[in-house]
Homo-oligomer: A and B are copies of this chain.
């Protein structure tokens, strides 16, 4: 059972959940209300997001509030950024080449 960020954000439902809690923390039922899916299904998705560090769960009485953790998403951004730099330079070179006076 792989459990990394790339795997976690591969699922559209989980990306939706991230989108929901990114700007406000919500409890599990509030999240589940947004989906045409059983509550346990959402519970399992949240478990996965939690296990790979994309969210924190704050217990408040019988409710559990999901709070986004951005650092892990940043890891993905960093992975992409490696190529981004190289690619931007390549595009710059191309542009310079095209702008060369004949």
Of the candidate stretches A4-12, A32-40, A55-63, the one touching chain B is: A4-12
Contact (Cβ within 8 A) A23 B86: yes
Which residues A1-24 have CB closer than 8 A to chain B? 2, 6-7, 9-10, 12, 15, 18, 22-23
Instruction: State the number of copies, please.
Output: 2
For A18, A74, A77, which residue has the most chain B Cβ atoms within 10 angstroms?
A77
8 closest pairs, A vs B, by CB? A10-B10, A70-B87, A77-B80, A6-B10, A22-B83, A7-B10, A73-B80, A6-B9
Residues of A within 8 A of B (CB): 2, 6-7, 9-10, 12, 15, 18, 22-23, 68, 70, 73-74, 76-77, 79-84, 86-87
A6-B9, A7-B10, A77-B84 given. 4 additional CB < 8 A pairs? Answer: A9-B10, A22-B83, A76-B80, A80-B80
